[in-house]
Structure 1
């Protein structure tokens, strides 16, 4: 699985691809120099249950740690992951 991270203006996304096909996308808004808001997660049906959403979230968390920024998870999937996974809570905006 290939994971890409791109930003343009005030928006960004993590995309998961396999064999040149999009497996999923997680979008976020850049709310300043120290904050992003994850607003949507989409996984193609062929990839349901394969951890694609989690991989994209980890890619965004990795970027947040590198930039020393916090995350607000408005997306229901991302919010649920932050609630149950202790190892990513360090980047959660309190």
Structure 2
């Protein structure tokens, strides 16, 4: 997987992970429902990022942060949920 510079932004109860490249942004948005629960609600990857692994990199970062910070992820976003199913080793990070 390619290395990406993933920024984490939080504004109140809404947050996102974002990769910026050549004026485009790939993002994974989430909502903080409690200190121990985050809902991953949307992943948006523009065409310029297609095939680069950007979407997977965003989900991987979310899982890493969940493990490090002790919160669980509710995978409302279809892409995040699909990645969860492809990576059974991530089960500890999800609340499903």
Task: Flag whether TM exceeds 0.5 (same fold).
Answer: yes
Maintained 8 Å contact 1:57/1:78: yes
What is aligned with 1:6?
A: 9
What is aligned with 2:78?
A: 76
What is aligned with 2:65?
A: 63
**1:52 offset after TM fit, Å?**
0.5
1:40 to 39, 42, 46: 42
Q: What are the ranges of 5 or more consecutive residues in structure 2 without an aligned counterpart?
A: none
Cα root mean square deviation, aligned: 1.2
* Secondary structure of 2:57 counterpart: helix
In the comparison of the two structures, how many residue pairs are matched? 93
Maintained 8 Å contact 2:9/2:16: yes
Q: What are the ranges of 5 or more consecutive residues in structure 1 without an aligned counterpart?
A: none
Distance 1:66 1:85 in 2: 18
